Amino acid sequence: MTGVQTCALPISIETLAEGIEQSSELSLLREEHCDTGQGFLFARPLDVDACEPFLQEWIGSGGAVPQDVPQDVPQDVPQNASRLA
């Protein structure tokens, strides 16, 4: 991750981290100035019938973190695909 960020930052390339499962991983990615991320920390995979209610709830919450995300994750992190910086 550090190598990718070292190359991406000076030339303004946006970075995306996939597979974020733990709040410690999120903290590290933020320290490394990773722009966007997704993973089980934010939301589990959904079947087709669950997608629409999930998205409606997420939009209605203003992109708030789901209630089951560990408390040490800041509440301004949106679900699933998330701006990390």
Residue 77: pLDDT band with limits 50, 70, 90? very low
Distance spanning both ends of the chain, measured CA to CA: 15
Sign of the torsion angle spanned by Cα atoms 37, 18, 26, 79 = positive
Query: What is the CB neighbour count within 10 angstroms for residue 84?
Result: 21
Q: What is the pLDDT of residues 15-72, one digit of tens each?
A: 888 999 998 898 888 888 888 888 888 888 888 899 889 888 878 877 665 555 555 5
CA distances from 67 to 11, 13, 52, 81 (A): 36, 32, 18, 16
